[in-house]
Structures are given as C-alpha cells and as structure tokens.
C-alpha cells in the first residue's frame, strides 16, 4: 500500500472567472508540512476528440490556426463540452459534424486521459468513428476557420514523425485508434 498522501487545501479562491478562462488559486499544505500559498489551477472543461476514418481508410483531419502557438495545426476534430449537459459520445458526434460535415452511425470509446493533471482539471475523451460519411457542410463558430483534410491511414505515423501532426491530444488519439484500425 502506498504511503503517498494528497495535498491538503487550506484556502481556495477564483482569481479569474471568465467564460473562456477560469483560474483558481489554492493555498496547500504538502505532506512534508510545507505550505504553498499560490498554487494556480486552470479550471477547464472536458474535451472530446474523434478519430474519424472513411470506408476508404482515409482519416478526416481539420487544419486550423491556433492563436496560443501562433501557427496552423493539423488535428482531429475536437471540442469542449459539459458532461452535465451532454454525453461525451453526443459531443463527439456533434463536433465531428460541426467541424467537418461528416458523421458516423456510432462512436467507439478508445480511451480517456487527463490533459495536464498537475495544473488543469479536465479530461480528454477519445472516440473512433468508422465508415464516416459526408452529410453536409461545416457549421463553425466565430473563432473557427477550418480546412478539412483527408489523409490515408497508412501515412499517419510518417506525418507524426515528420512533425506535420504535432498536437498532443491528436497524437494520443491516433496511437490509441491505430491499434483498433490495424486489428481490422
């Protein structure tokens, strides 16, 4: 049995409470007895990320500008959601259709990971969508300008190793999903 102990929260306050960014400042007591009075935690919503693959074994990606890194990235369709208002699967189908115009009959759960548990509260829920089909146009929100890209599944690992696909959540989903795709 492990002797590790949780940190004790002595005081906690929201220092930034905005629709798009929430930050909590905790005063914590470590198991050693040391006290840290300014441990900041980002309160983030859960994320759903979908690995959509067509019957022709092409993966549907989105390419878009990401302002934090000030660059363009190739990613899998994804988005934030509130588990109290919709299931991760429903959010995945919604995000897939909104960002790409594609849909699937069902999603297969391939994993759930914490994004950055040392400083963030959210999880990423990963799904595989097989035999996706185009059913309409994109329905983007004001911050989105997205190019849809189809990449053969056999080219994915090369694009990761060459740095063309470099967003951590997308790479994690691809490695989780490629096992399912390779088994078929």
Kindly state whether residue 2 falls inside one of the protein's structural domains. no
Average pLDDT for residues 154-177, to the nearest whole number? 96
CATH number, domain with residue 70? 3.90.79.10
Residues 21 and 89 in one domain: no
State the average pLDDT for the chain.
Answer: 95
Q: Which domain holds residue 39?
A: 8-43
Kindly state whether residue 122 falls inside one of the protein's structural domains. yes
Q: Given the structure tokens 């935690």, which residue do they identify?
A: 41
pTM for the model: 0.92
Residues 80 and 168 in one domain: yes
- pLDDT tens, 126-165? 999 999 999 999 999 998 999 999 999 999 999 999 999 9
Residues 81 and 28 in one domain: no
Kindly state whether residue 3 falls inside one of the protein's structural domains. no
Residues 30 and 53 in one domain: no
Residues 55 and 138 in one domain: yes
Kindly state whether residue 1 falls inside one of the protein's structural domains. no
E-assigned strand segments in the chain: 8-18, 21-29, 35-43, 46-53, 58-66, 71-75, 78-81, 102-103, 108-114, 123-130, 133-134, 147-152
Q: Given pLDDT bands bounded at 50, 70 and 90, which one contains residue 182?
A: confident
Residues 132 and 169 in one domain: yes
Total number of domains constituting the chain: 2
């Amino acid at each position: 049995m492990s002797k590790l102990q949780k940190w004790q929260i002595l005081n906690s306050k929201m220092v930034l409470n905005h629709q798009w960014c929430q930050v909590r400042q905790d005063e914590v007591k470590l198991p050693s007895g040391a006290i840290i009075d300014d441990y900041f935690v980002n309160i983030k919503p859960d994320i759903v990320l979908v690995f959509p693959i067509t019957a022709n074994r092409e993966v549907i990606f989105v390419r878009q500008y990401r302002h934090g890194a000030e660059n363009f990235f190739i990613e899998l369709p994804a988005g934030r959601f509130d588990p109290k208002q919709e299931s991760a699967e429903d959010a995945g189908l919604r995000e897939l259709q909104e960002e790409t115009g594609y849909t699937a009959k069902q999603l297969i759960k391939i994993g759930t990971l914490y994004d950055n548990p040392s400083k963030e509260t959210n999880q990423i829920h990963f799904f595989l969508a097989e035999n996706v089909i185009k059913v309409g146009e994109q329905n983007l929100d004001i911050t989105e300008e997205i190019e849809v890209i189809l990449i053969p599944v056999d080219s994915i690992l090369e694009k990761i190793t060459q740095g063309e696909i470099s967003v951590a959540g997308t790479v994690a989903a691809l490695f989780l999903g490629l096992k399912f795709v390779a088994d078929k």
